[in-house]
Amino acid sequence: MTPRVSMRVGLLGPLEVTVAGQEMAVGGPGRRALLAALALNVGTPVGVPQLVEAIWDDRPPATATTKLQGHVSALRQGLLRLGGADAAHLLQTRPPGYVLCAHRTSTDLIRFDDLLRQARCERLPERASRRAETLSAALRLWRGDACTDIRSGWVASMAASLDERRMRAMEDLAEARLILGEHDVVIDAMEPMVRRVPYRERAWEHLMAAHLGRGDTASALAAYDDLCRILTTDLGVGPGRRISRLVGIARGSRAVADR
């Protein structure tokens, strides 16, 4: 029996598409936004209004529905060229719009989420090594910011939630690596994160804990001072309980050292 044609879509970075193992040229911005919107919802029909918004944001042309149908037709022709008649079933018409076949479409996002679920099953602290391995495998799937080359506000809003999941996974990985004593690795991962997204207290917590794990109390307290300044200046609030408890440990360590 001839194997059924499958499609793979890469969303965790610039859009990448392969059909039957061959790279597919998707086309221009509208077509890329359409395919990204469908691939972000594999197996779930995406309505015509949502797809119109994904392609044109809040400025659709009067003929948007007709143009959308043209984009769908062009994508199907691309699938047929690479996968033959069997590939026609990859992109289906299903009310209220269109859907990518779940059984024959894979994405790096689906794989990422599968690995995150596996990682959560690895209990800490006894399974810290296995959790770190699984989270590392998940994060290696990323090739840059999600859907970074798609010029669509609708897709960008979806991609922002994916970037949030990526950062949570990085923080989870840092937590496991702290248990394993990999303090330098945690510092290398958390330093850029707190500079890029300075309100993530959990990242600051892991950074401070890594400095303390190395015996560098001064760097831990300097990180705390940076966080306090950012939160006070920008948000008018102070750090949460976990950070406060950690800085208490740091100050206690310094007091003992100064005796």
CATH of the domain at 66: 1.10.10.10
In a domain, 123, yes or no: no
**Per-residue pLDDT at 114:** 98
Cα dist from 249 to 203, 208, 209, 255, whole Å? 17, 11, 10, 10
203: containing domain? 181-259
Q: Is residue 140 part of a domain?
A: no
Query: How many domains does the chain fold into?
Result: 2
Residue 174 lies in a domain: no
Looking at the domain assignment, is residue 2 inside a domain?
Answer: no
Give me 165's structure tokens: 């999941």
pLDDT at 4: 84
Tell me, what's the pLDDT at 155?
94
Is residue 187 located within the same domain as residue 99?
no
Res 252: pLDDT: 77
- Whether residue 124 contacts residue 131, with contact meaning beta carbons closer than 8 Å, is answered with yes
pTM to 2 decimal places = 0.92
Sheet with 105-107, edge to edge strand ranges: 22-23, 16-19, 7-10, 105-107
Cβ-proximal residues to 232 (8 Å cutoff; 6+ apart), any chain: 238
- Residue 113 within a domain: no
Low-confidence stretches of the chain (pLDDT beneath 70): 1-3, 253-259
| Rounded Cα distance, 218 and 216, in Å | 6
Residue 55 lies in a domain: yes
113, 154, 147: which is closest to 16 by C-alpha? 147
Helix H or strand E segment including 85: none
Per the CB < 8 A criterion, the answer to whether 231 and 238 are in contact is yes
